[in-house]
Amino acid sequence: MKFSLVWLKRYIETEATVEEVAATLNAIGLEVEGIEDPAARLAGFRVARVLTAARHPDADKLQVLTVDTGDGDPLQVVCGAPNARAGLVGVLGLPGATVPANGMVLKVAAVRGVESNGMMCSTRELELGDDHDGIIELPEDAPVGTDFAAYHGASPIIEVAITPNRPDCMGLFGIARDLAAAGLGTLKPMKVEPVEGTFPCPVEIRTDDPEGCPAFYGRVIKGVKNGPSPQWLQDQLLSAGQRPISALVDITNYLMLGHGRPAHAYDLARLSGPVVARRARDGETVVALNEKSYTLDGEMTVIADDSGVHDIAGIMGGEHSGCSDETTDVLLEIAYFDPVRIAKTGRKLNLTSDARSRFERGIDPQFLDTGLDYLTTLIQMICGGEASHVVRAGAAPATPRIVHFEPGLTEQLGGVVVKPEEQQRILEALGFSVVVEEANFDKAWAVTVPGWRPDIDGAPDIVEEVVRIHGLDKVESVALPRADGVALPTATAMQQLERRVRRAAAARGMHEAVTWSFLPEAEAAAFADGEGPLWTLSNPISEDMKVMRPSLLPGLLSAARRNLDRGAASLRLFEIGRRYLRGKAGMSDERLTLGVVLAGEKTPRGWASGKATAFDAFDAKGEVLALLAEAGAPADKLQVMGEAGPQFHPGQSATLRLGPKNVLARFGMIHPGVAKQFDIDGPVALAEIYLDAIPAKKGAASFARIKYAPPALQAITRDFAFLVPAETPAGDLVRLVQGADKANIVSARLFDDFRGTGVPEGQKSLALEVTLQPQEKSYKEEDLKAIADKVTAAAAKLGAVLRG
């Protein structure tokens, strides 16, 4: 919320500077987001009088002015404004000044051959209004030579972030009340005299939706003269970021910004029959003031007459019944709407407004009559007119909330000692009514909550009010008690696993991505894998973010596409996060997963190969095996089985399992159809590791790896080449060989797969490198022969024959 210091001082008597106001606002919990000084933007602009005005010799629409700037020697200025004339007092921008509207720096320049020493300015050029038909005309007695900023009274503008729990500060009067309670000045009470109407209201007003609109008050004012609002009113609205429209509209906005109370003025000539607050009918439409059409339903409250809907209640008025310069009779509406109904309607229509932001937070239900009288007074003062009697349909909630409070709670909950007398002063300054029994002053208080504070619900809320006004900076920082000794580790085994795998993936040259947990329904369905119905949100951020992700791969593929579209040649992305499945009894089943996407060029083209090399399924498998080993999975015992799923290319994908049912990972190349769905060209390798499926080591409290000293004796290697049936998976042979002699064989690695000359039809030659690690003594020939026999015997179980 933005406001000027001048406007603030309409509500509080204070000599505080803008810096002191900002410091106090921050201290009491109203965060200042920025301070703007309009005077700085108007530097270099001066009140000046036009002495002479003559036609430009080479341009019919330009004049050559002689301008008195108060410095003695008049300046020559070329001007094209139609109202420029001798004797006019206006605003001159001197060379070196910057025009606020467009950032142009003024300088001495020749205009059609005539030297011009600055520019006479319009309201729009100085961002003081929308008028651009002529230059500013100041009163005859305006002091020539004075800086325009000083003459205009440009006031600093403060922007404050209002949290959702402070609806009272959605009006400037509420902010002034807080500042006065904090000791920055004296609050000026709002004095509004009741306006007695002189004739019965000619319009029937009623509420047919007492739940959505419990109270609907209104009156007619005849004979008003609409037009531009006074300059003081325009200045205040501009300081708040509001564009002045017309006097009638500006007055309602002034009430809303000043007191947090939205209201509306209808052109009476455009209404037909009774004006009613009712439920909308399914399919009804209305064109709002933002010139957009909205389709309504029966859960929404509207203001309507016999001709149809004129107002989306509490959110935005309709275009048809808005006031114009021709308006002479108006119907003023001020109502209380249910905050929940307003919030739901706004979300359904995706419509935000200043009125909605106030109604859905909760406004003071007791401000209806005062607000209507104040609105009437301002309209009659500025636009004239004669007011009717007030019509009151329904009644606003009026039951006061009383909170039982003990002053000792402030120290107990807030950690600061505040005298009971000071606590009472603070609460009463904030508008609370405090009833205290003298005999029990330090114990039981009955605190009545004012209507403008719907956020106050109990005694802890009262403590918060006392502490923030007393000073949050006065709350002492006290460390929590800590037991002696070394702190115990707090990370769980799964958290340790997640950190270790994240570091390992980054160390392998991959970049971490963080994608949304929400997906478009089509992308989520493509990776559902029959895990049950998708988790669909009832209130999504957008249509493209309505389903909880069943896999990390769709988000990574979208990230890869964005990077490839922007010229990335090679992508190695990973993400650690949770995928969301439906568990038992409708509960969410969240599973920790690591996703990997390899796209683009694995190696760029070079002089040796001549062309770039793309990623393939074996690259994905290599990453998976390395990360599984880092996670503590028994990589040497994993089985390569089956296809990875319909998202992967047939024949170019597989799963890694511990046994037939426990799937630890899947990897492979993307299916062409899925690549087309994600608009990705070129080969892409995918992998997904199910970290929650990795079994914990027996007897281990965590996944921490066992540290050991390197063996004293050097390892040796032996190569074996076997003839096996062509359909035999190489991984099966590797596992059998590695398990042939666990005491001596450290690892087995496939390094050749040959099919061709010398290899019988229907067979293939698989060559393995076997690493042997002696323990207490070096191997002798007979030891190596015994190990080789065990390897040959193990391979024979697959029908493998040692190749001669």
| Residue numbers belonging to the annotated binding site for Mg(2+) | 455, 461, 464-465
**Burial of residue 386 (number of CB atoms within 10 Å: 0-12, 13-18, 19+):** middle
- CA–CA dist 398, 389 (Å, integer): 23
Number of H helices, E strands in the chain: 20, 41
Distance from the Cα of residue 348 to its chain's centroid: 18
- Which among 284, 410, 278, 293 is positioned nearest to 335, based on CA atoms? 278
- DSSP one-letter string for 590-611: EEEEEEEEEEEEEE---TTTSS
Say which residues have a Cβ less than 8 Å from residue 272's Cβ, sequence separation at least 6: 305, 306, 307
The SS3 of residue 392 is strand
What amino acid is encoded at 286 in this protein? V
What amino acid is encoded at 267 in this protein? D
- CA–CA dist 423, 442 (Å, integer): 11
Residues 201 and 288 sit within 8 Å (Cβ to Cβ)? no
Binding residues: 455, 461, 464-465
- Which among 309, 311, 310 is positioned nearest to 342, based on CA atoms? 311
Residues 142 and 47 sit within 8 Å (Cβ to Cβ)? yes
Residues 406 and 444 sit within 8 Å (Cβ to Cβ)? yes
The SS3 of residue 253 is helix
Say which residues have a Cβ less than 8 Å from residue 382's Cβ, sequence separation at least 6: 229, 230, 233, 247, 251
Say which residues have a Cβ less than 8 Å from residue 248's Cβ, sequence separation at least 6: 224, 226, 265, 323, 327, 330, 379, 383
- CA–CA dist 339, 397 (Å, integer): 12
- The beta strands (E) that lie in 458-561 are given as 511-512, 518-519, 547-548
- Which among 612, 615, 618, 625 is positioned nearest to 573, based on CA atoms? 615
Torsion of CA 731, 736, 741, 747, to 10 degrees: 0
* Count of CA atoms in the C-beta half-sphere (13 A) of 285: 5
**Burial of residue 336 (number of CB atoms within 10 Å: 0-12, 13-18, 19+):** buried
Q: Distance of CA 382 to CAs 224, 232, 376, 493, 775, Å? A: 9, 12, 10, 72, 101
Residues 414 and 467 sit within 8 Å (Cβ to Cβ)? yes
**Burial of residue 416 (number of CB atoms within 10 Å: 0-12, 13-18, 19+):** middle
Residues in the chain: 804
Token digits of residue 169:
């500060």
- Which among 461, 464, 431, 463 is positioned nearest to 448, based on CA atoms? 431
**Do the bridges between strand 275-279 and strand 205-207 make them parallel or antiparallel, or are there none, so unpaired?**
parallel
Residues 120 and 1 sit within 8 Å (Cβ to Cβ)? no
